[in-house]
Amino acid sequence: MSLLAAATEVREKAYAPYSRFKVGAALRTSAGTVYVGCNVENVAYPEGTCAEAGAIAAMVAGGETRIAEVLVIADSPEPVPPCGGCRQKIAEFAGQEVRVTLCTTDGKQKVMTVAELLPGVFTAAHMDRT
Ligand code: THU
């Protein structure tokens, strides 16, 4: 299944009663598996989770850790960008060159790399003192 079809389908399952903004995310791993996630809100607002976080959690639970491609979709006037926290979450498992496709439900798309989404990413190397 294409990442666009997978993300579009899972977006319908989003639990977003507070923002009413449903988001779907799909990622393909280096092994070729597709994992999906949707946003899951909570009445205690900060406890809500993003679609990208859900897809990443599903990937790790599936025993994989290398992202080859990501796609995010929402009913947004412009292609929906991952939030700052999700950019760091994606960068944990994706190379700088990995493509992230930002989509709207009415067909607009914008392709960016992880490097473009998160310049100056914090990495494990920043904790190296020796
Ligand atoms: N949201 C995502 O799931 N992913 C994004 O990339 C942007 C924002 C969700 C979080 C919240 O449930 C709703 O969209 C409004 O912020």
* 7 Cα–ligand 1 center, Å: 14
Tell me if 23 CB under 6 Å of ligand 1: yes
Residue type for position 43:
V
Q: What is the mean pLDDT of residues 95-116?
A: 98
Give the number of other CB atoms < 10 A from CB of residue 57.
14
Nearest ligand 1 atom to alpha carbon 16: 12
Q: Look up the pTM and report it.
A: 0.96
The rounded distance, in Å, linking the Cα atoms of 2 and 23 is 17
pLDDT of res. 129: 87
Overall number of domains in the chain: 1
pLDDT over 90 for what percent of the chain? 94
Q: How high is the pLDDT of residue 1?
A: 83
pLDDT digits (tens, 9 = 90+) for 41-81: 999 999 999 999 999 999 999 999 999 999 999 999 999 99
Cα 109 to averaged position of ligand 1 atoms, centre (Å): 17
- The parent domain of residue 45 ranges over 3-127
The predicted pLDDT at position 14 comes to 98
Active-site residue list = 52
Q: What is the pLDDT of residue 95?
A: 96
- Angle at which helix 3-11 crosses helix 51-61, to 10 degrees, equals 110
- The CATH number that applies at residue 43 is 3.40.140.10
23-28 average pLDDT score: 98
Question: Can you tell me the mean pLDDT for 10-37?
Answer: 98
Could you tell me which residues are beta bridge partners of residue 42?
none
Q: How far is the CA of 8 from the centre of ligand 1 (A)?
A: 15
How confident is the model over 110-127, as a mean pLDDT?
94
The residue contributing the CA closest to ligand 1 atom 10 is 50
On average, the pLDDT of the chain sits at: 97
Of 29-33, 49-53, 117-121, the least confident:
117-121
